[in-house]
Amino acid sequence: MSDSQGKDLATVEHGEAPLYPLPPHRPRTTDTDPRAARRAQRQVATQFALSAVLTVGFFVAYWVVPVDQTVELGPFGVWSLSNLLLGLTLGGAILLIGTGAIHWAKKLMSDEEIVDERHPLGSPEEDRAAAKEMFDTGLAESGFAERKIVRRSLIGALLLFPLPFIAFLRDMGPMPGTSLRNTIWKKGTRIVVDVSGQPLRPEDLQVGTLVSASPEGLDEIQEEEGTQNARAKASIILVRMSPDEIRSDQSPEGETWAYEGILAYSKICTHVGCPIALYQRRTHHLLCPCHQSTFDLADSGNVVFGPAARRMPQLPITVDDEGYLVAQSDFTQPVGPSFWERG
């Protein structure tokens, strides 16, 4: 089979005449019984009237109920009374307008199906021809086809003029530079407990515990920069194990990054950057709540499961003269998610 353009057609035409006629209209009770019609009319009007009453109710609730008043609704817990009453009155008022209108349409407006013809969607042939002719005339009058130099210079100008608008975007942000490679940890930065800001001594940590920690002075830096950028990279977790539980860590030959069984790892998941603090003491597994990447802190922070591809970076730590835990240096590799230039 082929269509008008001689193309292959896999299908057969639908007939234009219906095989079966439209079934005759069946009158509703409201069409035949004036009482039913009056009843329907009453129902519709009642809904509209109730809606108006509820709108008045809304204003009562708006002025009478203080915004912070709560109610205890038994097993349903504590509710904002204002929200509840405003919502119920407003929602009811709106809903009743809708149900009233639909009821009106269904019961009282004509429900006789009407048949309309569809007309061909495209333009008629003579319109197409006329349009083409107009276009050709215009084209000839413009000289776009012949005046090569005008045409080419115009195209060139049009191609160039958007570029400044792209250039404007350049200052949306700074170049990355090496900023993803370092954090504010430095040799000798004290490690402090996250919320309290207390510096930590090794004896503050018992075997089996995990503590969220950050570099001392983080709050000041955050204040000064006006961003949380430093925090987003520098947060760490400290875990203490008995030294014989540690199968390996990331210390290179000749260095010791752990201190008496205390290990410091970045808190930022190497997958796409969620902070992690779910620790299973028995297995030494650290579990990311976002996509369940699991890292073995007793084994260099290696990935044991999940979509993360890299182990958690370890922060080399030791204690200072006063016996507080400090960093030996910054992280030796970027923390957080991988990026193209990371290598």
Partner 1 sequence: MSIIVNEAGKAISRADQRMPISSLLKANMRKIFPDHWSFMLGEIALYSFIILMLTGVYLTVWFKPSMAEIIYAGSYEPLVGIHMSEAYASTLDISFEVRGGLLIRQIHHWAALFFMAAMIVHMFRIFFTGAFRKPRELNWVIGASMFLIVLLEGFAGYSLPDDLLSGVGVRIVAGIVEAIPVVGTYLMFFIFGGEFPGNDFISRLYTFHVLLMPGILLALIGIHLVLIFYHKHTQYPGAGRTNTNVVGYPLFPVYVAKAGGFFFVVFGVTTLIAALVTINPVWNYGPYVPDQVTAGSQPDWYIGFLDGMLRAMPNWETVIGSYTISWNIFLPGVVMPGILTFALILYPFIEGWITGDEREHHILDRPRNRPVRTGIGAAVIAFYGILVINGANDVIAITFNLSINQLIWFTRIGIFVVPPLVFWATHRFCIGLQRRDREKLLHGYESGEVLRLPHGEFIEIHKPISDEEKAVILAKEAIAPLPAPPETDENGVATPGLRGKRLRARLSRLYFGDDVATPTPAEIAEAEHHAHELHDHEVAELESAGKDVPANLP
| Residue linked to tokens 């084994």 | 299
36 or 304, CB closer to ligand FES?
Answer: 304
Tokens, residue 320: 């200072």
Told to check if 232 binds ligand FES by CB under 6 A, we report no
271 or 284, CB closer to ligand FES?
Answer: 271
| Binding-site member from 32, 35, 75, 110 for partner 1 (CB under 8 A) | 110
Q: Which helix (H) or strand (E) element contains residue 280?
A: strand 278-280
Size of the site for partner 1 (CB under 8 A): 105
Q: What is the DSSP string of 136-174?
A: HHHHHHHTTTT-HHHHHHHHHHHHHTTHHHHHHGGGGS-
CA distance 181 to 336: 10
135 or 339, CB closer to partner 1?
Answer: 339
Question: What residues from 308 to 327 belong to the interface with ligand FES (CB under 6 A)?
Answer: 308
| Binding-site member from 50, 97, 193, 246 for partner 1 (CB under 8 A) | 97
CA distance 100 to 135: 53
Helix (H, G, I), strand (E, B) or coil at 237: strand
User: If 0-12 CB within 10 Å is exposed, 13-18 middle and 19+ buried, where does residue 240 land?
Assistant: buried
Q: Which does 176 bind (CB under 5 to 8 A by kind): partner 1, ligand FES, none?
A: partner 1
Told to check if 291 binds ligand FES by CB under 6 A, we report yes
Q: How far is the CB of 111 from partner 1 (least distance, A)?
A: 7
Question: What residues from 190 to 209 belong to the interface with partner 1 (CB under 8 A)?
Answer: 194
Radius of gyration of the chain, Cα coordinates, nearest whole angstrom: 37
Tokens, residue 195: 């919320």
92 or 306, CB closer to ligand FES?
Answer: 306
CA distance 48 to 99: 9
> Binding segment for partner 1 among 146-154, 158-166, 250-258, 268-276 (CB under 8 A)?
268-276
Question: What residues from 278 to 337 belong to the interface with partner 1 (CB under 8 A)?
Answer: 278, 289-293, 303, 305-310, 336-337
- Given the rule CB under 6 A, which residues bind ligand FES? 269, 271-274, 288, 290-291, 293, 306-308
